[in-house]
Amino acid sequence: MTDSEPAPAKLNLALHVRGRRDDGFHALETLFAFVDRGDVVSVEQNDALSLTLTGPFAHDLGGGDDNLVLLAARQLQSQAGIAQGAALTLDKRLPVASGIGGGSADAAATLRLLDRLWRLDLGIEGLMPIAVALGSDVPACLLGRTAIGTGRGERLVPIANDLAGTPVLITNPGIALSTAAVFAHWDGIDRGALAGGEVSDMLAHGRNDLAAPARALVPQIGALLDALIAAGGAHARMSGSGATCFALYDSEASRDRAAQSLAREFPQIWTMACRLT
């Protein structure tokens, strides 16, 4: 019997870089949110661990031992002390290296899925140490709900989302962007903390401190942000280290008109119409 788990796209509604840490990471304050669409991880019982890739972006992703899905599975296998395997399938619907947590969401979905398959009953709390070791965004993706992230993003405080259900248009220029390269081009200026209040307040008063270095590396980001605004989007912003951008809309109809407008102006881009959860 096949079981599956969604791996929804992650958005940084705000991303404030507060400084460089001695361990090489950066001190962040970020507002994580999720949408109702993304990748899907499926599993069947199997003696060994295996991974099959499907979906429109499968060809951009390596299925080798460094794939985060397999890394997550092996880490859980080791922690649980079991030899049982699993036949995993990743339906890759999100672009790779795009700032919306695709690989991190896939790893998190794998942990939740195998926790069920192997009847470990670890839950989010028990799986969290593995998530932290796998990457800075994996803990937020494991939690899978709106939260404020600090540290390198792994210290999470869940919060209610007063924007849940808001239509969102997500778009990517089709250019993979290295997180390390973007952080390396950050100017080192601390521009202040996240605002308090509701999610809508933090979004309205927030920013993405990685947008400027990302736009310097991929100028198309600026063009997409301008197009989202011109098409009626509110709070148009880059997510994570890019190059994916998003904007919020007051209705599905206005969002879908914006998607059509962007498709005419930029025929090669990827877009996804969705809602905040």
Q: Point out the residues that are catalytic.
A: 10, 137
DSSP character at residue 260: H
Using alpha carbons, list the distances in angstroms from residue 172 to 218, 259, 261: 11, 12, 15
Using alpha carbons, list the distances in angstroms from residue 213 to 95, 113, 205, 239: 20, 36, 20, 13
Q: What are the E-state strand segments in the chain? A: 3-20, 26-46, 49-54, 85-91, 147-150, 155-158, 167-172, 234-238, 245-248, 270-275
Candidates 274, 276, 246, 31; CA nearest to 159 is: 31
Contact 189, 16 (CB under 8 A): no
